[in-house]
Amino acid sequence: MVVIIGGGLVGMSAAYQLTRYGVPVVLVDRADEGKATTAGAGILSPGNRFPSGDPILPLLKEAHAYYPKLIASLAEDGEYHTGYEKVGALHVATTDEEASQMSKLLEQIQERRTAGFNHIGDAKIVDSDAARSFFPALSPVKAAIHIPEAARVDGQLLCSALERAIVQRGGSLVHGRAELVVDQGKVTAVTVEGQTIAAEAVIVAAGPWSATLAKQLGITMPVYLQRGQIAHLVVPKTETGGWSIVMGFTHYILTFPSDRIVVGATRDNVGYDYRVTMGGMREIINEGLRMAIGLESATVQDVRIGFRPQSQDTEPFIGQVPGFENVYFATGHGGYGLQVGPYSGAIAADLVLNRPVSTDLSPFAVDRFSHAS
């Protein structure tokens, strides 16, 4: 039995992959308020915000290539509702200062495409009118880059689709707080609210809460909670599902069928504080309207809060725990976990089964902070 701790996108993906290999799994989830997967926006970005040489880039590239395979696999399991769609993206400049950076930005995006990122396409600078044809509510902008192959996903829908597919393939889900049982230097089981589940292997994918479980194994894992507040709007009688993603220099807008718009997000380093704040709302409304004045009459339907699992060096933690050969972690994906998380979960499943992993995981070593004095 493999026990997976955490029912966000990373844990669900790991459990799903294991069930595809025919391995019995139990996934334990505490369903914390502020689970990042429920609040995540869903932009599968071109990767230009990561500098050349960042160790995340090969992982990101593989993660993007993995997405269509995951979506196809879920469709084979009868799961079609994931919100995944190639709707394209606009990177917009609303000030002269931002406009002066557009050529450099286009160069970086094209560099990523040349490096094999398969979800960018033929990116081009377009004028304000052309940009508005991809996103009708757009404000007049100074310049825009159109990225035709960019995709988005609905993290919550994808997570639910994975959950149903896991159950259909024989996996079990348990609600509650998981704790590791360590016996003579080995994790032998997981307890959940008094119930003991014997474990041949354990995958910890508990988002920012993973650090507590790592500590139990003597591992220092600096993953902190970064709060994101994100608004969900409705534009009545308007089919928004095909509109492009809009990425500004700090904030973004994306759309889902049939009339839903998502505007985000704040980055509040306040720890676990599950609240919508006036300052957060002001920031999202101001930045959202700066990019898309046509949203002035949209209805604010919901404001979600999520805690990004932000690691100290911005790299995730993926791999086996040294000294505990049957325990694996996959966490720390910060603000890019919807794009990378499904692949990281699949990697964790492969590691459990000793299957080959093509990506170099050494930059993501679970114990990389544990040696520092």
Would you tell me which residues interact with ligand FAD (CB under 6 A)? Answer: 5-11, 28-32, 35-37, 39-43, 155, 177-178, 205-207, 209, 228, 230, 264-265, 306, 308-309, 331, 333-339, 341
Site of tokens 């914390």: 32
Q: Distances from the Cα of 137 to the Cαs of 3, 107, 189, 235, in angstroms?
A: 46, 27, 53, 10
121 vs 335, which CB is nearer to ligand FAD?
335
153 vs 297, which CB is nearer to ligand FAD?
153
100 vs 212, which CB is nearer to ligand FAD?
212
What sign does the CA torsion over 346, 352, 357, 361 have? Answer: positive
CB of 156 to ligand FAD, least distance (A): 10
C-alpha 370/C-alpha 300 separation (Å) is 45
Q: Distances from the Cα of 56 to the Cαs of 112, 233, 334, 364, in angstroms?
A: 13, 32, 12, 9
CB of 5 to ligand FAD, least distance (A): 5
C-alpha 186/C-alpha 179 separation (Å) is 14
CB of 127 to ligand FAD, least distance (A): 26
CB of 6 to ligand FAD, least distance (A): 3
35 vs 132, which CB is nearer to ligand FAD?
35
Cβ partners under 8 Å of residue 225, min gap 6: 34, 208, 271, 272, 307, 308, 309, 310
CB of 314 to ligand FAD, least distance (A): 12
Q: Is the peptide bond before 73 cis (omega within 30 degrees of 0)?
A: no
85 vs 125, which CB is nearer to ligand FAD?
85
C-alpha 325/C-alpha 198 separation (Å) is 16
Cα pseudo-dihedral 301, 226, 33, 336, rounded to 10: 70
CB of 129 to ligand FAD, least distance (A): 27
- Would you report the helix, strand and coil content of the chain in percent, each value rounded to 5? 35, 30, 40
CB of 146 to ligand FAD, least distance (A): 19
**What are the b/e assignments for 259-269, b being 16+ CB within 10 Å?**
bbbbbbbbbbe
CB of 3 to ligand FAD, least distance (A): 10
99 vs 189, which CB is nearer to ligand FAD?
189
42 vs 171, which CB is nearer to ligand FAD?
42
Q: Evaluate whether 187 touches 324 at the Cβ level (below 8 Å).
A: yes
173 vs 297, which CB is nearer to ligand FAD?
173
Q: Evaluate whether 62 touches 115 at the Cβ level (below 8 Å).
A: no
CB of 300 to ligand FAD, least distance (A): 15
**Quick one: angle between helices 56-76 and 337-352, nearest 10?**
80
Q: Give me the half-sphere count of Cα atoms (radius 13 Å) on the Cβ side of residue 240.
A: 24
223 vs 298, which CB is nearer to ligand FAD?
223
320 vs 339, which CB is nearer to ligand FAD?
339
CB of 245 to ligand FAD, least distance (A): 9
* Residue 287 backbone class (left: φ over 0; alpha: ψ -120 to 50; beta: rest): alpha
User: Which residue, judged by CB position, is nearest to ligand FAD in the bound state?
Assistant: 337
Structure tokens at 294: 């046509």
